[in-house]
Amino acid sequence: MNLREVVRQRKLLLQNGVLEKLASLPAAQALEVLLEAEKKAEESRQIVITLETIDGVLSEKNQGKKIAQAPVEVETQDAAQAQAQAAAETPSAPMKILSFKKYDCDGTVEDFVSHFRNRFAKLSSMLKNRVSAANGVTSIEQAKSSVERRKSRIIGMVENKSITKKGNLRFEIEDETGVMTCVAQQNKPAMEKAQELWLDDVVGVDGIYSQGLFLVENVVWPEVPVRQKKLAQTDEDVSIAFLSDLHVGSKYFLEDRFEKALGFFNGVGTEEEKEIAKSIRYVLIAGDMVDGIGVYPSQEKQLVTKNVFEQYSLLAQYLKKIPGRMQIAICPGNHDAVRDAEPQPPLPSEFVQELEQDNIHFIPNPCWLEIMGLKILVYHGTSFDALVSNTQKLGDAFEHPEKVAVEMLRRRHLCPTYGEKPIIPSPEDGMVIEEAPDIFHFGHVHKNASFDYNGTVIINSGAWQGETDYQKSMGRKPTPCLMPVYNLRTGVLKILDFNEESEGQKRGKA
Ligand SMILES: [Fe+2]
Ligand SMILES: [Fe+2]
């Protein structure tokens, strides 16, 4: 059995470069190292075997430590043969999957405590980096014991929020040293900002401590810094196509239009469309691949394919038509066959084995990718519904989903308020937006949107499902079959409309 078969059989996810590294070793040793790395990844809750893990195993081996005996049979092949094979498997368009960790826990009190501590540590350090030297941060304990009416900035997690009889906004924030009751007075500029606070937000609050209360003058969120939009350093046009919310199996899945998009990927269309298709090397799909079963009451009435395995089998038939030169990354959504609680693991092999091929990568939700030097955050967007209900200014969010993405980037968190949507309270909070993404891709809302926020390109890739009865009853208008294609060299985003047949597509059919 060669290395590639072992990887496939054991359903291992490897970081780019791992196979090449292993191929430079004698075949039997490569397999031993791979299996030891699998064990280590499992122990450290990584879902992807990284180069770092491989290096760790190799260094232990060099120090003479014992490596577990490989429990599978191997056909030996020499290093040159393995190297040639790995080279042939190296994708022409490298895409690094940067999210490796497994987010699991036992749901104990300790897990919750570590989860929130971890979130607080990450977000408060971002806030501290934003603070100007003239306005240093003090702990809540220090602020309480400082000179009366001295100005300070405290950082904490928002716990309670209510309007007082006088119309002021009162909230509590907590850090490692204590709890502070804060008051934003009505008709003062800080009131507007304080109204935007969400429970569990980690924020900086400027104000004055007086007679047991912190009188709020300003509120700051961790924010993504203002940057120039990052472009790929390349002489040729390289593009990413964005998809989400196919909902295969639903009676509203717009199969004929999706087939048109598949034709486009394969060069059917006008000269301009052909040029765009030629530039596409990556296809990112942000979840809700199928409609699923039992996702909401009486869903079976909305399904044409009532078996979830058949839904994924149909999906495979479609996605296999995307040319092999394109790297495809697929994350799950709330309709897919994985646990609801986020972060969600990649789609399990039992559902998608028909799609196990070199250019298709199953990634967790959310997931960080790196493509040509750009950091891309892919998230299905399930928290959207809960977040919208939190803020008045998001009243039109179903028309403008980019506004919710902006709020996530401001708060540096994909689902700030715990308990609104199921989140795994793992010791590390996997929903923190750890760095400023160059591209933030999401779906779930079935409404296309794009926006440049502080240098992050926000893209919602709409849906391939038509208007459902539920959407109709809620007065929400989806925008199906509009595919965003982003040119990484020029930074130009084109939205291709597959609702109408272009002249080129008509010719392609003839
Ligand atoms: Fe969806
Ligand atoms: Fe969804």
| pLDDT tens track for 102-112 | 888 887 888 88
Distance in Å, CA 481 to ligand 1 centroid: 13
Instruction: Output the 3-class SS for 430-483.
Output: CCECCCCCCEEEECCCCCCEEEEECCEEEEECCECECCCHHHHHHCCCCCECEE
**Half-sphere exposure at residue 317, Cβ-oriented, CA atoms within 13 angstroms:** 9
Q: Given a cut of 90, is residue 510 above it in pLDDT? A: no
Tens-digit pLDDT profile for residues 254-280? 999 999 999 999 999 999 999 999 999
Write down the pLDDT at residue 70. Answer: 32
Distance 443 CA to ligand 1 centre (A): 7
* Cα 335 to ligand 1 centre (Å): 7
pLDDT at 302 over 60: yes
Write the class of the CATH domain 239-509.
Answer: alpha beta
Question: 443 CA to middle of ligand 2, Å?
Answer: 7
Q: What is the pLDDT of residue 131?
A: 59
| Rounded distance from Cα 380 to ligand 1 centre (Å) | 9
- pLDDT value, residue 94: 86
- Predicted pLDDT at 501: 65
Where in the chain do CATH 2.40.50.140 domains reside?
131-220
List, for residues 209-230, the tens digit of each pLDDT value: 998 999 999 999 999 999 999 9
Q: Is residue 85 pLDDT above 50, yes or no?
A: no
Q: Is the pLDDT of residue 508 over 60?
A: no
Among the four given CATH numbers 3.40.50.620, 2.60.40.650, 2.40.50.140, 3.40.50.10490, the one describing domain 131-220 = 2.40.50.140
pLDDT value of residue 403: 96
Structure confidence by residue, pLDDT tens digits, 25-50: 877 788 888 888 888 887 777 777 88
Residue 12 CA to ligand 1 centre (angstroms):
28
Amino acid 75: pLDDT = 33
Contact 89, 19 (CB under 8 A): yes
Cis peptide leading into residue 343 (ω within 30°):
yes
Kindly report the length of the chain: 510
The b-or-e profile of 330-342 (16+ CB within 10 A means b, else e) is: bbbbbbbbbeeeb
Cβ within 8 Å of residue 346, ≥6 positions away: 13, 47, 330, 331, 332, 338, 362, 363, 364
| CA 441 / ligand 2 centre spacing (Å) | 13
Q: Where in the chain is the domain with CATH 3.60.21.50?
A: 239-509
| Ranges 54-58, 89-93, 141-145: which has the least confidence | 89-93
Torsion angles phi and psi, residue 175, rounded to 5: -120, -165
Q: How far is the CA of 259 from the centre of ligand 1 (A)?
A: 19
How many angstroms does the Cα of residue 290 sit away from the middle of ligand 1? 9
Q: 106 CB contacts (<8 Å, ≥6 apart)?
A: none
pLDDT for residue 231: 97
Which pTM was predicted?
A: 0.84
The pLDDT tens digits of the residues spanning 308-333 come to: 999 999 999 999 999 999 999 999 99
d(CA 503, CA 274): 12
Strand partners, 171: 161, 182
